[in-house]
Structure 1
Amino acid sequence: MSRIALIYPKLAIFRSRTQLTSSATNARSCDLMKNPLNSHLNVVLMSLNNIQVTTVAPFSTHSPSNPGIQTTSIIIQKDLFELASKALMELQESKNSSSLIVEKKAHVFCDLYRTLQHSEKSLILNQFALIWSGKQNATLNSVKKYLTAQEKGDEALIKAEDNLRNTLAVEQNWILSILARQEGGIKFLIDIRADILEQVEIADATNVVVLRSLSNAIRDLIAPCFGIDMLQLDRVTWSSPGSLLQHVSEGEAVHPMRSWSDLKKRLGPYRRCFILLHPALPKRPLAILHVALTNEISDNIHSIITRNMNHSVDSETDTSTLADDEDVNRVNTAIFYSISSTQKGLAGIDLGQSLIKRALRALQAEIPSLQQHSTLSPIPGFRSWLLQQLRETERGRKTVLADFDWGSAQQLINSTKENPLGLLRNLLVDSSWMREEAKAKLLKHPLMRLCAHYLFVEKRRGFALDSVANFHLRNGAMMWRLNWASDLSPRGLKNSFGLMMNYRYYLESCEKNSQLYAEKQQIESSEQIRLLSGVSSQSTNQISHL
């Protein structure tokens, strides 16, 4: 029985009766109760102050469309939205009420919000954001007091600072704090933040700035709950509970699984899967890391994710077989080939760093013979970046392509045409050229050079423009090797024309590399990356590990 039914006992009567499903959506259920005294359908509508019964015209249960159910469902849904809006307002107005009243109103709002459709949630979130941001006057007054206190000595300044902190952290965030303290409150805030982030991605969304601010406030509030001491590292195997295997399969965002057979391969011999768990979301992975154990640094993802479990660890083409048991003495390399975050509401909270570091320690403890640790990572932004550069160059704007030497790829462009770059862009948009060996050979070197430039040179606020590169560099990895034709799946071609990057983790250098990147935006790289990008080792002051 839900909290709403506990608060309003009469609801328990119809909650236990037949649930009818709207034929329009076949997914949304409504609670209905038939009056035994007549053939009319009585719909119980909830109110925060009373219970109302509204009579709806009768309908035939044998009707193919059941319009009565659709009408009733609409009435109930509209009422639930109005109640959720009212519940939020009453929660906001209950700040000075007793803790029991505040808790009850928080429970009601949470339960009502969960029943809403997507469009209705968007309206509630806009209302929530406006309520949350409605303390500008109090904030401005606190800022003025703080500025004035600077002339009154340290003691007055400290008091004014406390007042400003209280205004920002308490006055604005008290509703979020109340929601977080409820049973399941952290999970609720994660879900509501996911809804906010989804809404701000809509091009014509309203109140985007306020919604982003609310999202950041929720992130800052819940982030301490996901410290390393609160996270549990687990290894997933084929014998793990089925529900957990389902979550791992559905949560794989880098190289999606097509079947249970795919999952079984990724959990088989010479493979590891690690997950992070948290008490707020029991038995639901927050982040998933897949690892391949090999004796060399892989340059092709297909050899990892499609390899049969019985293939030799020494060679992907070797026909010898091995038993299900592993011989860990035959491996010396760990390849991190997929890391996925499963909770959109936790975006901006760095779970991946904790997962990689703890997985490294676990692997090293299990297999002391491991000497090399590397990723085989996608380059999700390269193709879209290059196509945009081509469009900008066509329009006469100065880009990195203005003086770029296409070399052998020039043969693919008829220079007598008015728009040769447009021809090249049209060629690159269609990935079919990768299936033509001659064209692929002509484009290989130019695309490798441009990709190295994109990864090594292009920046956002001083840090690597590519999100995956930025993630691994922050963790202390180095750009080690760029691989051609490494992921020829539709996703790999769409991301980066099939290119992938190895980021090496030298355990003894991770801390230094991370510090240099964070403080000086200095990227540790191999000679291959520097040569391809056209940046000399002298100008970057880098050290090659090759």
Structure 2
Amino acid sequence: MLRPAPKVSAPRTTQERLKATLRHDEEAMSPRMLRQSLKELQAIVDPLVSEVEGGRRAQAMMDWYASATPPHRRDLWLLMSERFVADPQHVKQAQAQFAAAVGTPDEAAAEVLYRRATVSPRRRLLQRFSANPDGVRFLVDMRAEFQPQLKTDKRLLALDVEMEYMFSTWFDVGFLDLQRITWDSPASLVEKLIKYEAVHDIRSWSDVKNRLDSDRRCYGFFHPRLPGEPLIFVEVALMNEIAASITPLLDESAEPADLDKATTAIFYSISNTQTGLKGVSFGDSLIKRVVETLKQEFPRLKTFATLSPIPGLRGWLAKNAPAELVKTWERVDELAEGAPERRTLMGWAARYLGEELHNGKPLDPVARFHLGNGARVERLNWAADPSAKGLKQSHGLMVNYLYDLKRLDKHRALLAQGKIPIAAAIKDLYL
């Protein structure tokens, strides 16, 4: 006879644990230690202490955190998320006053009171940490650390959303500095490119040197509180045509292009570097700033395009394309130029990029980024990325997104209507 599986109880909230006397097996901090940690967090935002004293207390907590175990850190996140909330009674009262004041001369003042009532003490706590010279780095790293747990522990969502909101303010593009990264930049900075490159892995120092050659440009956004740490960077190749393959761009033995003949800037890699800044948008502003910078340095440049991966294509094909075709495409390197299976794959890929939406936005994440910036789907390229990663993502296909500077707003308007901007060459591939 089968015995029923033991019932798994839901994790206790920090409120329940604070009132308890004993801890459960899965809990890191005892109730007594939890109460002490809460007291120390509350002391940081005590309205009766100065900014200097509040900062000193925040530093003490950061010192404790540096040597704390992951389970103990997690309990601290839970305290910050669950115990530093806006007073529900104040919120309810302010909301009622605002509703009663709508349409009267008191509406604006009532709105201000309501907004203030909804601000959580958690925000003040984050501000006290950020005042420390290393505080912003501490908070960004903390958020990165708990990101993997958000899917399984919704109790951390309040802290995550609050941090995303604060970071969107602190890391507004108006506070960021655009810097060119060259082979002559500090070695520690060049090493960051190797570490954070997310599109085409950098294999060696000669590889990164090639990407910083005379016919290349690399730019990153930097924040004064994170010196020497690019938040996002883009790699650009200066050419006389739109690139159809990543292979020659990564060829370390190739001669640099003639800059006097360069008419085209190809954005072939954009990498975010800080997991803790997830949800904070830099990419669209980075591309705009880089385009302006390149136009000043190279007035002959007329075309700005990408050579981009299609990371969601293969998974989408596995779910939507006929099984016999999917099986054939496993041997994509064996398909001759005139093979019907090759034409079919291009057609399915064109449909994926040109029609597939989710919640009104392009299904593919890279397409969502570039099309959201006003680009259009320009051209599909066969066998453009023969690497193992390229084959795994998209059977080796890559796509060019064109940034037509005179039509960016038009393309955004089309996308807002649920219509993906595509070139005629993409539509001609439709099956």
How far is 1:388 from its partner? 2.8
Structure-2 residue corresponding to 1:163: 113
1:264 to 209, 212, 215: 209
User: Secondary structure of 2:83's match?
Assistant: helix
- Using the alignment, how far apart are the partners of 2:407 and 2:208 within structure 1? 34
Structure-2 residue corresponding to 1:474: 372
Matched, 1:365 2:296: yes
Q: Output one character per residue of 1:357-386: Cα deviation in whole Å (capped at 9) or x when no partner.
A: 111111111111112111000111111122
2:49 to 98, 106, 112: 98
TM-score normalised over the length of structure 2? 0.85
How far is 1:351 from its partner? 1.0
- State the number of aligned residues: 402
Q: Output one character per residue of 1:88-119: Cα deviation in whole Å (capped at 9) or x when no partner.
A: 44222553331244333222222222323434
Amino acid in structure 2 at the alignment position of 1:155: P
- Using the alignment, how far apart are the partners of 2:118 and 2:342 within structure 1? 54
Aligned-residue Cα RMSD (Å) equals 2.7
How far is 1:242 from its partner? 0.6
RCO comparison, higher one (Cα < 8 Å, 6+)? 2
How far is 1:247 from its partner? 0.7
Amino acid in structure 2 at the alignment position of 1:275: G
2:228 to 283, 296, 303: 283
Q: Output one character per residue of 1:406-441: Cα deviation in whole Å (capped at 9) or x when no partner.
A: 7xxxxxxxxxxxxxx3x555555xx4x123235993
1:512 to 410, 414, 429: 410
How far is 1:355 from its partner? 1.4
- Using the alignment, how far apart are the partners of 2:404 and 2:159 within structure 1? 39
Q: Output one character per residue of 1:17-64: Cα deviation in whole Å (capped at 9) or x when no partner.
A: xxxxxxxxxxxxxxxxxxxxxxxxxxxxxxxxxxxxxxxxxxxxxxxx
Matched, 1:177 2:108: no
Amino acid in structure 2 at the alignment position of 1:300: S
- Using the alignment, how far apart are the partners of 2:69 and 2:346 within structure 1? 46
Partners of 2:240 and 2:263 within 8 A in 1: yes
**Rg bigger for which structure?**
1
Partners of 1:81 and 1:116 within 8 A in 2: no
Matched, 1:310 2:255: yes
Partners of 1:197 and 1:212 within 8 A in 2: no
Structure-2 residue corresponding to 1:41: none
C-alpha distance 235-85 of structure 1, shift in aligned 2 (>3 A) = farther
User: Secondary structure of 1:532's match?
Assistant: coil
2:397 to 487, 499, 504: 499
TM-score normalised over the length of structure 1? 0.68
Structure-2 residue corresponding to 1:231: 176
Structure-2 residue corresponding to 1:36: none
Partners of 2:142 and 2:276 within 8 A in 1: yes
Q: Output one character per residue of 1:468-519: Cα deviation in whole Å (capped at 9) or x when no partner.
A: 11111121111100111111111111111111110011122223323443x4
C-alpha distance 124-263 of structure 1, shift in aligned 2 (>3 A) = same
Amino acid in structure 2 at the alignment position of 1:498: G
- Using the alignment, how far apart are the partners of 1:357 and 1:81 within structure 2? 52
Amino acid in structure 2 at the alignment position of 1:111: D
Q: Output one character per residue of 1:215-258: Cα deviation in whole Å (capped at 9) or x when no partner.
A: 22212112122233321111111121111110111111100111
Residue segments in structure 1 that go unaligned for 5+ positions in a row: 1-77, 314-326, 390-400, 407-420, 535-546
Structure-2 residue corresponding to 1:543: none
How far is 1:79 from its partner? 9.0
How far is 1:387 from its partner? 1.6
How far is 1:338 from its partner? 0.2
C-alpha distance 461-158 of structure 1, shift in aligned 2 (>3 A) = same
Matched, 1:335 2:266: yes
Residue segments in structure 2 that go unaligned for 5+ positions in a row: 1-27
Structure-1 residue corresponding to 2:9: none
Amino acid in structure 1 at the alignment position of 2:380: L
Amino acid in structure 2 at the alignment position of 1:342: T
- Using the alignment, how far apart are the partners of 1:136 and 1:533 within structure 2? 55
Structure-2 residue corresponding to 1:61: none
Matched, 1:348 2:348: no
Matched, 1:446 2:344: yes
Which aligned pairs between 1:518-533 and structure 2 lie closer than 5 A?
Answer: 519-533=416-430
2:311 to 363, 377, 380: 380
Structure-1 residue corresponding to 2:159: 214
C-alpha distance 85-265 of structure 1, shift in aligned 2 (>3 A) = farther
Partners of 2:29 and 2:72 within 8 A in 1: no
How far is 1:309 from its partner? 4.0
C-alpha distance 190-199 of structure 1, shift in aligned 2 (>3 A) = same
User: Secondary structure of 1:146's match?
Assistant: helix
1:124 to 76, 83, 86: 76
Q: Output one character per residue of 1:59-91: Cα deviation in whole Å (capped at 9) or x when no partner.
A: xxxxxxxxxxxxxxxxxxx89999797344422
How far is 1:174 from its partner? 1.9
Partners of 1:91 and 1:102 within 8 A in 2: no
Partners of 2:335 and 2:342 within 8 A in 1: no
C-alpha distance 301-225 of structure 1, shift in aligned 2 (>3 A) = same
Which aligned pairs between 1:78-117 and structure 2 lie closer than 5 A?
Answer: 86-92=36-42, 94-99=45-50, 100-117=52-69
- Using the alignment, how far apart are the partners of 1:195 and 1:274 within structure 2? 27
- Using the alignment, how far apart are the partners of 2:403 and 2:198 within structure 1? 22
How far is 1:139 from its partner? 3.0
Partners of 2:86 and 2:119 within 8 A in 1: no
User: Secondary structure of 1:276's match?
Assistant: strand
Give the fraction of aligned pairs with identical amino acids, expressed as a percent: 34
C-alpha distance 119-501 of structure 1, shift in aligned 2 (>3 A) = farther
- Using the alignment, how far apart are the partners of 2:194 and 2:362 within structure 1? 30
- Using the alignment, how far apart are the partners of 2:35 and 2:193 within structure 1? 36
